[in-house]
Amino acid sequence: MDHNLRLTLAQTTLAKKLGLSRQWVGELVHRLDEAGWLVHVSPTLPDGTNGPTIFMIGNQLKHILFMLSPCAEQQVHGFGLPGRDHGVSLHCLRENSLL
pLDDT tens per residue, the chain (99 residues)?
A: 454 678 899 999 999 999 999 999 999 999 999 999 999 998 999 999 889 999 998 888 888 877 777 766 655 444 444 444 444 455 565 555 544
Same domain, 49 and 17: yes
Rounded to two decimals, the pTM is: 0.61
Same domain, 22 and 51: yes
Same domain, 7 and 44: yes
Residues 8/54, Cβ–Cβ less than 8 Å: yes
Q: Beta strand pairing status for 53-57 and 6-9? A: antiparallel
State the pLDDT at residue 75. Answer: 55
Same domain, 54 and 87: no
State the pLDDT at residue 85. Answer: 46
State the pLDDT at residue 30. Answer: 94
Whole-angstrom distance, CA of residue 67 vs CA of residue 32: 19
Q: Is 63 domain-assigned?
A: no
Kindly state the helix (H) or strand (E) to which residue 19 belongs, with its residue range: none
Task: Give me the domain span that covers residue 97.
Answer: 69-99
Residues 75/88, Cβ–Cβ less than 8 Å: yes
Whole-angstrom distance, CA of residue 85 vs CA of residue 60: 25
Q: Give the number of domains in the chain.
A: 2
Return all residues near 23 (Cβ < 8 A) that are at least 6 apart.
none
Same domain, 74 and 94: yes
